[in-house]
Amino acid sequence: METEYIIVDPLKPDQNALKKGARLLQQGEVVAFPTETVYGLGANALDVQAVKKIYLAKGRPSDNPLIVHVADREQLIPLVKEVPEKAYDLIDKFWPGPLTLIFPKSALVPGEVTAGLDTVAVRMPKHPVALALIKEANVPVAAPSANASGKPSPTEGKHVWADLNGKIPLVLDGGATKVGVESTVLDVTGDLPLILRPGGVTREELQSTIGPVEYDPGLTEKKVPRAPGMKYTHYSPEADVVLITGEAKERKEKMKRLFLHLTQEGKKVALLLSEETQKEMTGQIVPYYQEVLGSRQDLSGIAHRLFSAFRNCDLSGAEIILIEEFSHQGMGAAVMNRIRKAAGGVQDAPLTIDMGDLDD
């Protein structure tokens, strides 16, 4: 399949490009497009055969539910059985934006979209290209991230091209995404709203709007995924990712020791660091590749750069990525969720290395 690549100005989207994308969606094809979080790979959510093309292009397991994107509230109503009062409060506050809500699904939504669940995930993206495309197509659009399954989510059009060129008919490149990590997924079907995936809207922001909100236990347990991104290993670059934990001084020492051990073994080691840690380690070690994610005081900036940094490490040829732990508060919850899943649960040392042996 030949993939067409069209650059679209978000401030003044090319109507011809939008009409082309909309026609493809209406004809049962898939289209990659930008949102404010990451790039999505969309298909008509009500067309079973079109939805199957998403799974095929990504190599995505069919037991992983998809998010349905809508352009206005009117598109939401036919997709769900009911909209709880708290959900309306959240919609008023955060839509359009990086918040996905879980509702009881209506019979209109195919089981292929929800992975057989009786609930459906819906959001309204805050990106002019995404909204214009959905409006032009006049269908709800099921869209996971537009990457090969399991790999870092794409935050630029070139990332989509690297993963899906030859597998989909069209990529609409609207520039770099603003948020850089996926939307927050919140289940509002019960009395106590549960975060199934932390993302672009923080728990603190949700609680200031509707009161108590908790994290779902499934975030840390290997269960059937109730929302995208709940599988344990996800967002992973080709290189092995190792999370370095602990207080600032302890993290720095752990990273230095593990770096020296791995480089002595001939490994190509990349470091992903905060500005603060990078300044402290300057001149102490020389990594194969290094990228500064931003200040520890700017977790939104770190989220914005994270997936791109993973991809840059792969492009450098690095074999192992050492990345430091960040705060778990605010946007840090989304950052640490993505890092832990990229690392597949490995922290402080690869499974084949005993940190206690590094003093020898």
Is position 282 annotated in a ligand binding site? Answer: no
Is position 64 annotated in a ligand binding site? Answer: yes
Is position 143 annotated in a ligand binding site? Answer: yes
Q: What angle in degrees, to the nearest 10, is found between the helix axes of 15-26 and 128-137?
A: 50
Is position 337 annotated in a ligand binding site? Answer: no
Is position 327 annotated in a ligand binding site? Answer: no
Is position 288 annotated in a ligand binding site? Answer: no
Is position 197 annotated in a ligand binding site? Answer: yes
Is position 123 annotated in a ligand binding site? Answer: yes
Is position 215 annotated in a ligand binding site? Answer: no
Is position 35 annotated in a ligand binding site? Answer: no
Is position 274 annotated in a ligand binding site? Answer: no
Is position 177 annotated in a ligand binding site? Answer: no
- β-pair partners for 342: none
Show binding-site residues for ATP: 60, 64, 119, 145, 153, 197, 235
Q: Residues comprising the binding site for L-threonine?
A: 37, 69, 123, 143, 183
- Annotated binding site: which residue ranges? 37, 60, 64, 69, 119, 123, 143, 145, 153, 183, 197, 235
